[in-house]
Amino acid sequence: MNEAQALEALRALVDGKREIYTLVRSVSRSGLSRRISLFVVKDGEIFGIDHLMIAAGLGKRRGHEFGLYVEGVGQDMAWYQVYRLSLALYGDAYRLTDRPLS
């Protein structure tokens, strides 16, 4: 799957939604990195979108663990992932909002 196909698949899943659910799976001992998963609910089903985020170039994976590998401090990094997704899909960074699961 190339980046354009991944973005189209994300658009299809997110279409008409405002909320993206986020889950911080782990935080490194130093607090400088974390693993974050993103989910969307469509037609009553929950879909994980980490693999599409990675395929679209909006995230990276490290190892074989679940979640996007995110580095950074000083802001809500789960919110920032949704911000980046919203900007990539719609050109409007604030069209989507994050809803933390933890």
Residues 81-93 pLDDT 10s: 999 999 999 999 9
* Structural domain for 55, as ranges: 3-100
Lookup result for tokens 């949704």: 82
Per-residue confidence (pLDDT) for residue 74, from 0 to 100: 81
Neighbours of 85 (CB within 10 A): 26
- Kindly write down the DSSP assignment for every residue of 3-69, as one continuous string: HHHHHHHHHHHHTT--EEEEEEEEE-TTSSEEEEEEEEEETTEEEE-HHHHHHTTS-B--TT-SSEE
| Residues with pLDDT less than 50, the chain | none
Per-residue confidence (pLDDT) for residue 24, from 0 to 100: 93
Per-residue confidence (pLDDT) for residue 23, from 0 to 100: 95
Number of domains in the chain: 1
Q: Nearest-CA neighbor of 4 among 93, 89, 84?
A: 89
